[in-house]
Structure formats: C-alpha cells, structure tokens
Amino acid sequence: MNPLRLDIDADIRRAWTPPAAFYGDPAFYALQLERVFAATWQALPELATAHAGSASGARPFRLLPGSLDEPLLHSLLAEGAANTRERLLSNVCTHRGHLLCAEHNPGPQLRCRYHGRRFGLNGELIAAPGFEGAQAFPSASDNLPALPLERLGPVRFTSLAPEVDFSAWSAGAERLAPLLARPHCFDADSAADFEIEAHWALYVDNYLEGFHIPFVHPELAGVLDPGGYATELLPHGVLQTARAAEGDVVLELPADHPDADARLAAYYLWLLPGTMLNVYPWGLSLNVVEPLGPRRTRVRFLPFVAEPSLRSRGAGGPLDVVEAQDEEVVEAVAEGLRARLYGRGRYAPAHELGVHHFHRMLAKRLDSGGRERSMA
C-alpha cells in the first residue's frame, strides 16, 4: 500500500509545489527508491574510465551506493586482439547469494569462494561442484543476471527494471548528439563528489529552472543572454538551452542543426531521476544525483573534455563557483522546509515549467492507487 500521495495540479497556474513533508518523510523516500530509481535508467560514474581493451576481467561496483546498493560487475570479455565485449552482470552467486568478487578479477572466469561455483565473464554457469544428480539443472536462472548497458557519448547507463527502453527515456538527447559524438577525454583530476544535507529532489528542483541565475550566480549570468533561456519538456526529462551573451564563446553545431543559428552557450539536459548532461563548448560535464537518505544527497561531477583551450570560457567556465552557490541555496531550502510555519508554495508559470514537470512525473510514479494519507 502506498502510504502517501503527491498531488500536483496539471495546470501550473493553479498548482502548488510539493508539501514540505515530501522532502523528508522516510516512508515516501523508500517508495522513491523503488518506484523512481530502480525503475529508471542510471548513469554509471564508476565506468567513466572503463574502455574496451585487450584484456579480459571483471570489476565490482555498486549501483547507487548508499541507496539501491546493487552489487554489479563490469565485465570485459576479449574475443580476439581487436574485439572486446562489455557486459554488466550481477555480482551475486546464483547458488546461495554470496558475493562473487570483492575486488578486480583479472582472470577469464569468476569463482565463488563459498562453494566453488564458476561462471564465465559472459555470466554463464561453467561449473557447479556438488550438484551431480540435481534435476532440471542447470537452467537459465543459474546464470548470472545481466543488465542492459547503454551509452550517450562517453557516459554509460543501466537500469534494474526499466519502465521504458533507453531510446524512449533519453529522447531529447539527439539535439546534443553532434557534441556528444566529439572525442572526449575524462578529466579524473577535476572529478569530485559532494554530499549535501538535503533531499535529492531539491537539487533537481534547483537545476530545472534558470529563474534563480541572476540572483544566485552573478558570474554565470554575466556570460548568458538574459532573454535567451528556454525550457523544453520531454517525456522523461527536461532540456534547457542558454543563449550566449554577445561576443562570448558558443557551441559549434552543424549547419543543418535546428539550433545552428541560436548562438547557444550550453545545453542542460536532465533525465529522470538524477542524470544531468551539461554540454559546453569545452565538452561535457556530467552531474549524477545519488540519494543517501531522506535528507542527504551525494552529487558526483565528471568532466569529459573535448576542447581543452575553451575550458575556462563561457557558461562552462565558473563551474566550481556555480556548484558552491547551488549547494548553499539547496541546503538553505532544505533547512527552511523543516520550519513549522512553511507548508507549500506556488510555481512561477513563466520560469518553473521544468520543476512542475518533474513533480508531475514523480506524482505519477509514486501514486499507485492505495493511500493511507494524502500529501495534498
């Protein structure tokens, strides 16, 4: 039974924002993990440096550590000098549930140290000591479960139980395709993780509107055309475009691209629930929002550089400053939502279309029909 219900009016002119309780209620948070995060596609920061090489092996990691915590293996299966296949597998033995790998396994097979069951790097069961005489054995369920592995530019994605296929979920990314197709180099030295005292959705709320930019980000506002910020609603996300101020650096797009003459400073693509693809003239900045609890969030930043000479210029220049400013206001909102005198607010119709769209998407996924109490 769904213990809570999130009511967001479809008309932004009448709608009220989620009540403060949404951003801290433990029961609603648990529901979000299963119905939002487990059912959608997630970016995989752990694979930022992974690439198809010539050596076989498997590396363990966890999907959304601190929330979903799903044990997975990124497997590279060499099939000749010039061909290596990637697989994403469960890191749990199909016999009694023991973890297979605690660290990088460079060998051609995976062996469970509990009872000796062995698997290939493609996940297929190779040997199961002690199971002589077992009937209807082995079956497909004795192989390691495999997850889909997709990508946009240099970023890989997977899902535990996707509601829609990857192409449908990532609709809107085709606008970014020529820029994502550029050769990118992952800048590990500039990558960083931050933890903030706030519900994960507050960070997304802040990302989905440019309304706050002139008030919170003076450095960013100085390189953007104040009248050139646009928001486009997508089936599973939001695409924001920012036009560059006169004379500043812009995105280089093919002549036949729909935005070729728009003089864009950046694309900001958010995909439900926590993937943010920020495309600048210098390359791609990936933000991954990972919940750690009802009132704590990890935000991971991964830069992929295509044009090093443009790194400090334009909308993608002052990113460290902008991030510190965003964290400050998001944590201040989180504190304000705990006040007894605040209930819920209203949307600015001309500026918060993306935020309203996000909240409507959450409401649809979190409301399954059975309610004990409403958050209207």
Closest of 254, 277, 264, 260 to residue 180, by C-alpha: 277
Q: Which two tokens stand for residue 94?
A: 């199909």
Tokens of 189: 């030295």
**Beta bridge mates, 277:** 269, 286
Q: Give pLDDT, residue 318.
A: 75
Map out the domains of the chain as residue ranges. 46-149, 172-343
Long-range CB pairs of 371-374 (<8 Å, 24+ gap) are: 371/1, 371/2, 371/3, 371/4, 371/5, 372/1, 372/2, 372/3, 372/4, 373/3, 373/4, 373/5, 374/4, 374/5, 374/7
Select from 348, 344, 325, 241 the least CA-distant residue to 18.
344
**In this structure, what token pair is assigned to residue 327?**
């964290």
Q: What is the pTM of this model?
A: 0.92
CATH pick for 46-149 out of 2.102.10.10, 1.10.10.10, 3.30.465.10, 3.40.50.150: 2.102.10.10
Give the pLDDT of the chain (376 residues) as one tens digit per residue: 345 678 999 999 999 999 999 999 999 999 999 999 999 999 999 998 765 454 779 999 999 999 999 999 999 987 765 567 899 999 999 999 999 999 999 888 999 999 999 999 999 999 999 999 999 999 999 999 999 999 999 999 999 999 999 999 999 999 999 999 999 999 999 999 999 999 999 999 999 998 888 888 888 878 787 788 899 999 999 999 988 888 889 999 999 999 999 999 999 999 999 999 999 999 999 999 999 999 999 999 999 999 999 998 888 877 888 888 989 999 999 999 999 999 999 999 999 999 999 999 999 999 854 333 445 5
pLDDT at 51: 55
- CATH entry 3.90.380.10 includes domain 172-343: yes
Tokens of residue 215, six digits: 């008030």
- pLDDT for position 369: 41
Distance CA 133, CA 123 (A): 23
Tokens of 313: 């210029």
The alpha carbons of the chain give a radius of gyration, in whole angstroms, of: 23
Domains 46-149 and 172-343 share a fold: no
The closest alpha carbon to 295, from 199, 195, 203, 194, belongs to 199
* pLDDT of the residue at 80: 60
Q: What is the predicted pLDDT for the residue at 376? A: 54
| Distance separating alpha carbons of residues 183 and 50, to the nearest angstrom | 15
